[in-house]
Structure 1
């Protein structure tokens, strides 16, 4: 019987030690979570976030229409795509479908293709019927105004140049903040 008592006592002590260690680990994890939450993101957003105002830009679409931050008089749907981006190949047809039914038609939809004329020829053919297409180098024009850091970049911009919704998927555009 003394052996059984010692065994039960030993198991109890081990359980108590395990419990103390587990509580300590949980406290450390909570402290790390708080530090990570308080720290700014290590990754820049892919495009200007909601509430930001786009920078100035001026460009000419592939069919000769002049567009700039000053010509925005209605909400505009913007998509920025690159020919060597696998996600762009998936999202471009979805963007074209959304553009087809966007209020104001193609004059209120800007599709920015980042690359050379030859590289973006297929994307251009898909988008020209539903959007004003701009072909530019990354870091210039509208990609600079929207602070594009990756592809695809999508944004819904109001008539004052304020980003209402943004992200890399059409679902991101459907998540319009309550204060918008």
Structure 2
């Protein structure tokens, strides 16, 4: 009988310890979820303001050649991926924001990274409001801009020497824009 009592006490203590550890783990996961949720609108950790854009050559979905030299002076750039939940969330807001930017499609570049068929379907709503490039992971634009995570939203403009650099790595899609001319 004393062995049975000891076994019950041991199992009870072990269960209590398991409960305490599970509650601590849930608390920690909630903290991490809060940090990740808060980071969605934060600047891209990869690209700092002033980062120079490397040379590249590619072609848009409309068949237009695109190089570093052909980038507009004030360009909104988005790197999106169809397999990325935050990208899917931001797509409608990005399309609406881009629609009202001065300069029209010429002032917006959307790079959709992923498997071509899936990326083409994801890029369809972007065509009327942006120059669209679909590329495989680590494609020409991803390498030139140094982008490895999605979504990445940037503003590009010329530096003192006229070369394109990141002018903003925290684009606010909720900020009103002027109507396109």
Interval containing the TM-score (normalised by the shorter chain): 0.5 to 0.7
1:27-65 Cα shifts (integer Å, max 9, x gaps): xxxxxxxxxxxxxxxxxx544211111111111100111
**Structure 2 unaligned regions, length at least 5:** 1-43, 176-181
Alpha-carbon deviation of 1:172?
8.4
Distance 1:74 1:50 in 2: 15
In the alignment, what sits opposite 1:171? 172
Distance 1:87 1:137 in 2: 19
Q: 1:91 to 1:172 in 2, by over 3 A?
A: closer
Number of residue pairs aligned between Structure 1 and Structure 2: 128
Kept in 1, the 8 Å contact 2:72–2:106? The answer is no
Distance 1:166 1:112 in 2: 16
In the alignment, what sits opposite 2:165? 162
Which of structure 1's runs of 4+ aligned residues deviate more than 4 A?
A: none
TM-score (norm 2): 0.65
**Residues 12-161 of structure 1 aligned to structure 2 (within 5 Å):** 46-159=45-158, 160-161=163-164
- Higher Rg of the two aligned structures: 1
**3-state SS, counterpart of residue 117 of structure 2:** coil
TM-score (norm 1): 0.65
Distance 1:107 1:132 in 2: 7
Kept in 2, the 8 Å contact 1:110–1:132? The answer is yes
Kept in 2, the 8 Å contact 1:46–1:149? The answer is no
Alpha-carbon deviation of 1:122?
2.6
Distance 2:88 2:118 in 1: 13
Kept in 2, the 8 Å contact 1:165–1:173? The answer is no
Distance 1:59 1:136 in 2: 9
Kept in 2, the 8 Å contact 1:48–1:163? The answer is yes
Q: 1:82 to 1:120 in 2, by over 3 A?
A: same
